[in-house]
Structures are given as C-alpha cells and as structure tokens.
Amino acid sequence: MKQAYIDLINHALSQGFKVSVWDGEAWPVKQSIKYGEIVDAIKSVEVAELQFRDAEGNKCGWAEVGVYGLEPEETVIDYTVNPWLEDWNEIYNQTIGA
C-alpha cells in the first residue's frame, strides 16, 4: 500500500506546488519541486511539517506527516482543510478503498 504522505507529495507536485519541510528545528528543504529531496528530508525525522506554495509563492496549506510506526494510510497526521487538500484526501481514500 502506498504511504499517504508519498501520495500527498506527488499530488502537490503534480498541481505545480512547491514544498517546504520543517523538521522541528529548521527548514532543510524550502520551496522545492524535487521529490527525492522532499522525501529524504521527511525520512530524516519522525514527524515533519510540510508547507505548500503555489507557483506564485502563495501559501496554500500545510500538513503534518510521520513516517515511523504508523500505518501507511496514517502517515498524514493532520492537514489544512481547504479544497485541494480535501480533493487529495478523497482521491487517496478511494485508492485505498476506505
């Protein structure tokens, strides 16, 4: 089963968003469109916060993600309630049969 946070990153990047990663102490990744860079920063900590910006640099939401000790569908712990994240959640839940 695909990890929810991986699906969320792919969804954000496919929509043209840039992703920043907060590791609890610093922003090791700022406004990146590089999948590997984003995932590596997330995997370096137990819980990370993702911030999403559109192509113009406007903040479009955030999500808290965890990698270790969680079921794949639980790796997105919390997120901003807005249309594009709600769309992602609906699509993801359909793919996992929830």
3-state DSSP helix/strand/coil percent for the chain, to nearest 5?
40, 30, 35
pLDDT of 22-74, one tens digit each? Answer: 999 999 999 999 999 999 999 999 999 999 999 999 999 999 999 888 888 89
Measured in degrees and rounded to the nearest 5, phi and psi for residue 47 equal -135, 135
Q: What is the pTM of this model?
A: 0.93
